[in-house]
């Protein structure tokens, strides 16, 4: 989803040079540079809008080669091949025969990782095949659409030990990482509660064509399901803020959906009463509210809101025993530290003070730099053969809110247990995401 960060990058440079004798620190630094020089070879499945955007970020990186491309459209594959060549790389292999041609790409022995940017129903099956083929998998959101697919991803990772990372870019946002540093340094005390949302009016361009009203590939999900269709943008930063899967675990949820009013109204407004979409019945409610309780007694309120006219908003609020952060207000309140008693103060000074190391180095590319940063960290893990910053357990726990919310809505908002994909390991696992050295 396209969204511009409210805050610009702080561009800084350090002038001057310092002449130093070769020390142990320098030696380790030079070893690190040699390590970073290793070429990472990548294949991409799905080179439509999102796949092309991700590829553009990869082409900005040194020592990353695009070796193979796959899509149902031969034209899209050819266009992507030309783009890679224009960027100065060799022409990648192309695959565009049928829905299962991607398996030929997975079977190549000259790939280290595969990027998956296809229709939702293919995300989990393709990621499973990538892991089985020994390739790191980076899969677009959501990583899985069903509960069974979530378990397929976990079990395949545990069998193969090949990492799988969902590309949840909002986990890497500049403001969210600064808030994470504030939480880890204790400014808000013990975290108790979080509110989050994905509020983005997508109905007349993302689900349906904005000129004709014809269904796009994602429309079928609104016709056949009533759930939080897109839970990961809400929950991306929340997992690390609340130590989910590494100190706490989601326990159960309840979900409530409004009826569907906005889609029909959009069609009548935009295309008239006689358009087929105006009278058609859609399963999906306009607003879905999910309330989650964790095993450690914390709570999360999450909203799906993608069908009514509105500006973009994530509505993040994280609250603890000593204060809170409110993204909508771009403000914080910290007990006994904020200048005025019970008054908000601007977040921007905190953003600068608690800037995460990843952002201190600067960023470029899509979504205000978050896309580049998440892919940069993924490539680093592939290059060094280490775990990805978002692992398979975090990927599925964000994604599973979709099918579980659908179960709850269908059962009159009944509580639904959230599976513990770590099988109890959350009690002893330590936080690893974006941990500062």
In this structure, the answer to whether residues 273 and 351 fall within a common structural domain is: yes
The enclosing domain of 66 has a CATH number of 3.40.50.720
| pLDDT more than 70, % of the chain | 91
| Structural domain contains residue 2 | no
pLDDT in the model for residue 342: 87
Note whether 84 and 106 are same-domain residues.
yes
Q: Does any domain span residue 7? A: no
* SS3 assignment, position 273: coil
Cα 389-395-396 angle, rounded to 5 deg: 155
Domain presence at residue 242: yes
pTM over 0.85: yes
Q: Do the domain assignments include residue 370?
A: no
User: Which value, to the nearest 10 degrees, does the dihedral of the CA atoms of residues 53, 288, 203, 261 take?
Assistant: 180
Q: What is the pLDDT of residue 375?
A: 98
The reply to whether 214 and 85 lie within a common domain is: no
Quick one: pLDDT at residue 25?
29
**Is residue 230 domain-shared with residue 105, that is, in the same domain?**
no
Among 120, 181, 179, residue whose Cα is nearest residue 399: 120
Of 134, 169, 204, which residue is a domain's last? 169
Q: How far apart are CA 49 and CA 410, in angstroms?
A: 33
Would you call 145 helix, strand, or coil by DSSP? coil
Helix (H, G, I), strand (E, B) or coil at 254: strand
Whether 80 and 207 map to the same domain: the answer is no
Q: Could you tell me the sign of the dihedral formed by the alpha carbons of 274, 276, 282, 288, in that order? A: negative
* Residue 243 lies inside a defined structural domain of this protein: yes
| 211 phi-psi bin (left φ>0, alpha ψ -120 to 50, beta other) | alpha
The per-residue pLDDT for range 89-141, each reduced to its tens digit, is 999 999 999 999 999 999 999 999 999 999 999 999 999 999 999 999 999 99
Residue 436 included in any domain? no
Backbone phi, then psi, for 409, in 5-degree steps? -60, -45
Does residue 126 sit in the same domain as residue 211? Answer: no
Region 152-180: mean pLDDT is 98
Check residue 215 and report its DSSP letter. B
Angle at 357 between CA 352 and CA 361, to 5 degrees: 90
Q: Are residues 161 and 177 in the same domain?
A: no
Same domain, 213 and 78: no
**Residue length of the chain:** 437
Of 142, 169, 196, the last residue of a domain is 169
Q: pLDDT tens digits, residue range 285-294?
A: 999 999 999 9
Q: Do residue 263 and residue 192 come from a single domain?
A: yes
Q: State the sign of the Cα–Cα–Cα–Cα dihedral 84, 90, 95, 100.
A: negative
pLDDT at 36: 61
- Whether residue 290 is found in the same domain as residue 330: yes
Predicted pLDDT at 24: 34
110, 142, 169 - which closes a domain? 169
User: DSSP code of 312?
Assistant: -
Q: How many domains does one find in the chain? A: 2
Q: How many other CB atoms are found less than 10 A from the CB of residue 414?
A: 12
Average pLDDT, the chain: 92
Q: What CATH number has the domain bearing residue 256?
A: 3.30.360.10
Q: Is residue 17 part of a domain?
A: no
Tell me the residue range of the domain where 68 lies: 38-169
Q: Does one domain contain both 154 and 246?
A: no
Collect all residues with Cβ–Cβ distance below 8 Å to 366 and sequence separation of at least 6.
53, 56, 57, 372
Q: Could you give the residue ranges of the DSSP H alpha helices within 385-437? A: 392-399, 401-410
Among residues 223, 370, 128, which one has the least CA distance to residue 215?
223
Query: Which residue has better confidence, 95 or 361?
Result: 95
Confirm whether 404 is domain-assigned.
Answer: yes
Q: Write out pLDDT tens, residues 24-48.
A: 323 333 444 445 679 999 999 999 9
Tell me, yes or no, whether 66 and 201 share the same domain.
no
């Amino acid at each position: 989803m396209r969204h511009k960060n409210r805050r610009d990058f702080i561009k800084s440079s350090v002038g001057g040079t310092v002449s130093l004798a070769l020390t142990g620190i320098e030696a380790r630094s030079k070893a690190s540079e040699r390590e970073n020089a290793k070429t990472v070879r990548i294949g991409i499945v799905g080179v439509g809008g999102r796949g092309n955007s991700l590829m553009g970020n990869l082409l900005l990186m040194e020592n990353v080669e695009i070796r193979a491309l796959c899509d149902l459209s031969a034209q899209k594959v050819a266009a992507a091949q030309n783009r890679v060549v224009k960027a100065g790389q060799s022409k990648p292999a192309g695959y565009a025969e049928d829905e299962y041609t991607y398996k030929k790409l997975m079977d190549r022995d000259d790939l280290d990782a595969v990027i998956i940017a296809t229709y939702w129903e293919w995300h989990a099956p393709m990621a499973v095949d990538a892991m089985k083929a020994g390739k790191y998998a980076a899969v677009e959101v959501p990583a899985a659409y069903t509960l069974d697919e979530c378990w397929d991803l976990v079990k395949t990772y545990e069998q193969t030990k090949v990492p799988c990372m969902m590309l949840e870019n909002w986990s890497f946002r500049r403001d969210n990482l600064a808030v994470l540093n504030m939480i880890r340094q204790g400014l808000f005390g013990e975290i108790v509660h979080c509110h989050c949302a994905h509020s983005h009016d997508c109905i007349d361009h993302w689900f349906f064509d904005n000129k004709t009203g014809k269904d796009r590939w994602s429309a079928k999900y609104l016709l056949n399901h009533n759930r939080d269709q897109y839970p990961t943008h809400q929950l991306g930063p929340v997992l690390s803020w609340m130590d989910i899967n590494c100190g706490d675990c989601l326990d159960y949820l309840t979900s409530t959906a409004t009826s569907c009013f906005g889609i029909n109204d959009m069609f009548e407004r935009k295309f008239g009463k006689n358009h087929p979409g105006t009278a058609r019945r859609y399963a999906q409610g306009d607003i879905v509210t999910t309330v989650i309780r964790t095993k450690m007694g914390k709570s999360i309120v999450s909203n799906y809101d993608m069908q009514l006219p509105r500006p973009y908003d994530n509505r993040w609020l994280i609250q603890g025993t000593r204060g809170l952060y409110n993204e909508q207000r771009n403000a914080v309140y910290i007990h006994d530290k904020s200048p005025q008693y019970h008054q908000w103060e601007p977040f921007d000074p905190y953003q600068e003070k608690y800037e995460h190391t990843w952002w201190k180095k600067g960023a470029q590319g899509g979504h205000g730099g978050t896309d580049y940063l998440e892919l940069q960290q993924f490539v680093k893990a592939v290059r060094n053969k280490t775990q990805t910053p978002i692992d398979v357990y975090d990927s599925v726990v964000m994604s599973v809110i979709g099918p579980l919310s659908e179960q709850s809505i269908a059962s009159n908002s009944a509580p639904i247990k959230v599976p513990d994909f770590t099988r109890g390991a959350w009690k002893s696992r330590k936080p690893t995401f974006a941990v500062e050295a």
